[in-house]
Amino acid sequence: MKIVFANSAWVSAAERLILRGGSWTSVRLRVRYGLIIHPRAGPMLIDTGYTPQAISGDGRSAALRLYGAVLKPRLNAAEQPLPVLARFGLTPQDVRTVIVTHFHADHMSGLSLFPNARFIASDAAWSRLKARTAWQNLRHGVFTELFPADFEDRLDGLSTKARIAPRGGIPGGADLFGDGSVVAVDLPGHADGQFGLLFTETERPLLYAVDVQWLLAALVEKRTPGFPASLLAEDFAAIEPTSDGLRRFLAVGGEVMFCHDPQPTPYDLGSEGG
């Protein structure tokens, strides 16, 4: 099974907003998404990153335009999903599955690019999203205009997957493909329904922990940012218990990756491992 992560865009933020006690120096954050080529389930994406559909596309709502104007993401054209797929001889039609770790724009703005894909996501979070008003969804950082019209028809909810029990510091979760190779691990705190992905067949167990933290240093050094970053979290009180579980995973020899950490990893496109 091949696993590689690409960087869809760069977003700049003051260090102290993402690392407690940090400076006002600007940090250039990645916006990762992943490509898995699974021996049985075929090519699939982990999220889609930022795409023009969210940042520069025609017909965007005023709210989505304001979102882009505030965060000012700079798209990385060379590592957008379509050119990355082309590097591996793939087209959007070849993508059978998109794993949607949560419903924020920087993770699912390109879902409409993949007409043949099923979507693995939290069906519980999807049900709550549907029950909210448009304004309530915006307050949760969700732009419903980015969902394909047939999203629900193509949704494979986590609740339908068999569960794997945790063991010895290795987290449990939903067995996505029935072979234990990719496990969806619940990671409450940042967003409603957020889950990460545990890869069990890598040299060391790898947990892609998405947006539990922005920086690995914040996890390892217990420097979770406070206010105003706390305003962006779905459940700020849950972030530290979730982070503590990640630290236990590190202690038993696992590896942790985050979506936005600027430091390159062996799994990033262009690295030795990618």
228: cis peptide before it, omega within 30°?
yes
Radius of gyration of the chain (CA): 17
Mean pLDDT of 253-274: 89
- pLDDT for residue 226: 82
Domain range list for the chain: 2-257
- pLDDT for residue 8: 98
Mean pLDDT of 213-233: 90
Confidence class for position 229, pLDDT limits 50, 70, 90: confident
Classify domain 2-257 by CATH number: 3.60.15.10
pLDDT above 80 (res 181): yes
* Whole-angstrom distance, CA of residue 195 vs CA of residue 198: 10
Q: What is the pTM of this model?
A: 0.96
- pLDDT for residue 242: 97
Taking only the tens place, the pLDDT of each residue in 92-101 is 999 999 999 9
Mean pLDDT of 63-90: 96
Taking only the tens place, the pLDDT of each residue in 81-139 is 999 999 999 999 999 999 999 999 999 999 999 999 999 999 999 999 999 999 999 99
pLDDT above 60 (res 274): no
pLDDT above 70 (res 272): no
Taking only the tens place, the pLDDT of each residue in 2-14 is 999 999 999 999 9
Mean pLDDT of 165-173: 95
pLDDT above 80 (res 66): yes
* Whole-angstrom distance, CA of residue 274 vs CA of residue 262: 16
Confidence class for position 240, pLDDT limits 50, 70, 90: very high
Pair 75, 52: CB distance under 8 Å: yes
- pLDDT for residue 23: 93
Q: Where are the alpha helices (DSSP H) in the chain?
A: 15-18, 52-55, 62-71, 81-87, 105-108, 123-131, 134-139, 216-220, 236-251
* Whole-angstrom distance, CA of residue 238 vs CA of residue 158: 20
Confidence class for position 273, pLDDT limits 50, 70, 90: very low
Q: What mean pLDDT value characterizes the chain?
A: 95
Taking only the tens place, the pLDDT of each residue in 141-161 is 999 999 999 999 999 999 999
- pLDDT for residue 79: 98
pLDDT above 60 (res 207): yes
pLDDT above 60 (res 188): yes
Both structure tokens of 57: 């596309």
Pair 273, 10: CB distance under 8 Å: no
